[in-house]
A and B are shown apart, each in its own frame.
Chain A
Amino acid sequence: MRQDTGRCGQKVHMLQSIIKNVWVSMKLYYTQVYQDIWVEMGMMTLIVYIIQSADKRSKVLKAPVPAHGHP
């Protein structure tokens, strides 16, 4: 039997081992128990994004404006 040990084969093998070792044993937790935690992680990501974008906008506004006629 020819073993596929190329890059694609290694990635498939890695994915299979992640599914077998992590997803199969933790499926119930990730889908049922931690539903509220996923929602809150999403909300926190949104809060961090809003704060970061506000910070970037304020830095752009504070940056010195180039003189008229200069790039």
Chain B
Amino acid sequence: MNQNLFASFNMPMILGIPLVALFILFPTMLIMPSNNLNNNRSSSIQQWLIQLMLKQMMTNHTIKGRTWSLMLLTLITFITLNNLLGVMPYAFTPTTQLSLNLGMAIPLWMATVLMGLRFKTKATLAHLLPQGTPIPLIPMLIIIETISLFIQPVALAVRLTANITAGHLLMHLLGDTTLILLSTYLSSSVITVIVIILLITLELGVALIQAYVFTLLVSLYLHNNS
């Protein structure tokens, strides 16, 4: 049993060596690439899911934007697998760490902005001023749009961190409550067990949705800049 509520968010260590690389690389072992045309069931399901995600995300992109297909597919697969593996009890979820999420969000966002400035400079700078703005408001609005541009990667990272962390905290709290209630009020513990089951279902949904939202927003920034 965890000693405190936040023990599961600490980086697991063996002999003082952090296992962060192991946890980040572990989901890649679950994806099985194959060179066959006809595969077994699990590989076929994986291929079908990848085709579904590709069609969903990349249909509206230009040719330049579609060069990022591999990156965006990898991103959604990585975040989904990490989130789903973290729903298991006592599992460490790398996506609860703000450092990892900022490490994903900032390079991807800035790369899209750089791409826009490099290939479509006028259009990218024009995005800083909405159409039809009254002239006296122009300086103020440019400042506001620039601030909103720089907040995008922070919002991306914090959204993912906060959602996953909040869900895990709730599960821990309810789990501890159930354990305490088991020895005192058994009937109330039945209610908390039902709530935990519902919460785990919600957490599974949140894990998938947050991965999709993260990738969709990066794809949107790419679309705006390509």
Q: Is the CB of A37 within 8 A of B67?
A: no
**Whole-angstrom CA separation of A39 from B114 in the bound complex:** 9
Q: Is B118 an interface residue (CB 8 A)?
A: yes
CB of B68 within 8 A of CB of A41, answer: no
Q: Do B67 and A40 touch (CB < 8 A)?
A: no
Q: Mark A21-32, 1 if CB is under 8 A from B, else 0.
A: 000000001001
A43 within 8 A of B: yes
Q: B166 near A: Cβ within 8 Å?
A: no
> In the complex, are the beta carbons of A37 and B106 less than 8 A apart?
no
A49 at the interface (CB under 8 A from B): no
Q: Per-position contact with A for B96-119: 1 when CB-CB < 8 Å, else 0?
A: 000000010011101110110010
Total inter-chain residue pairs, C-beta < 8 Å: 32
**Assuming A36-B114, A36-B118, is B68 touching A44 (CB within 8 A)?**
no
Main secondary structure, interface of B, reads helix
Task: Say which size band chain B's interface belongs to.
Answer: 10 to 19
Contacts of B112 in A (CB 8 A): 36
Mind listing 23 A-B residue pairs with CB under 8 Å? Answer: A29-B67, A33-B71, A34-B71, A34-B111, A36-B111, A36-B114, A36-B115, A37-B107, A37-B108, A37-B111, A39-B111, A39-B114, A40-B106, A40-B107, A40-B108, A40-B111, A40-B114, A41-B107, A43-B110, A44-B103, A44-B106, A44-B107, A44-B110
